[in-house]
Amino acid sequence: MIPIELVIIGGGPAGYTAAIYAARAGLHPILYQGPNPGGQLTITGDVENYPGYRNGVTGPAMMQDFQAQAERFGAIIKSSTITKVDFSTYPRQLTLDNDLDILAKAVIIAAGASAKWLGLPAEKRLYGKGVSACAICDGFFFKDKTVVVVGGGDTAAEESLYLAKLCQKVHLLVRKDQMRASKIMQERVFKKPNIQVWFQTEVKDIIGQEQVEAIEVIHSPSKAITLIQASGLFVAIGHQPNTLPFLPYITVDSHGYIQTKPNTTETNIPGIFAAGDIQDPQYRQAVTAAGTGCMAALDAERFLQKTNANC
């Protein structure tokens, strides 16, 4: 079996950017898109904060542009999914969803992270129509409006504080009788006059046909139901990095994010690099993902130059 020079796992901003740089460098990369081609941007509405799109662009259209640019330089894009790996030998072995095994001299893991959701039927139907998992991405569309944020950790606190600068009113729903967020973040939330914190409160339903119109909440232990008039619902209960196929070979942190060496995209396995949201619990933006995709391609190019020179 002849090994592939470079395999890229994941078809979001990080993976496609890595493919663009790697293809231009003559590495003949093969990119496997995985189960969600385009990543989270394919279920995002308008993107107005990515440089170069002066009038904004929809998430799916932007990912189509990324893919077309990668293919223009010779990157091969495949719709298959990598289901498991064996990084104990070299070249590295990867198994596709059709049980076909392939070998790779270098691998860039850019499989992203998936937002955790509440599991309500209306949540999926109204995603991008008032339901969001990213205040920085979508908060602008709710300027001077009322929104609801769900979550009790630092992420929920940060989302609420960001939205409070834009929105008339922010309702923060906390499932327990106290927040999990750090003390300083809680203090900032409680000091904001336009943030109202609801403890022991959960979302029962999202009201609206074409757009979010209100949030039906239930309070415990009374089981009382309240209807909050709101234009948006921001779910901030965390993200789950898609690292399962790469364990136990790749080192991850306590939340499952791939750990990379400082100032590089190198993982604990030589020739395996990580880019995008799968190694970024902090920013989770398309532009930062694309930046690390560039870094991973350059790191992979240097690795392959040394490896091939020694063969």
Catalytic residue among 46, 99, 138, 311: 138
Catalytic residue among 134, 167, 277, 280: 134
Q: DSSP for 163-189?
A: HHTT-SEEEEEESSSS--S-HHHHHHH
CA 121 to chain centre: 22
* CA-wise closest residue to 236 among 138, 89, 135, 102: 135
CA 33 to chain centre: 14
CA 68 to chain centre: 21
Active site residue 134: yes
If one counts every other C-beta atom within 10 angstroms of the C-beta of residue 29, the result is 29
| Environment class of 188 (CB within 10 Å of its CB; exposed 0-12, middle 13-18, buried 19+) | middle
Active site residue 137: yes
Active site residue 138: yes
Catalytic residue among 137, 277, 280, 299: 137
Cα–Cα separations (whole angstroms), residue 189 to 55, 169, 222: 33, 13, 25
Cβ-contact 149, 234 below 8 angstroms: yes
Tokens linked to 293: 């995709």
Point out the residues that are catalytic: 134, 137-138
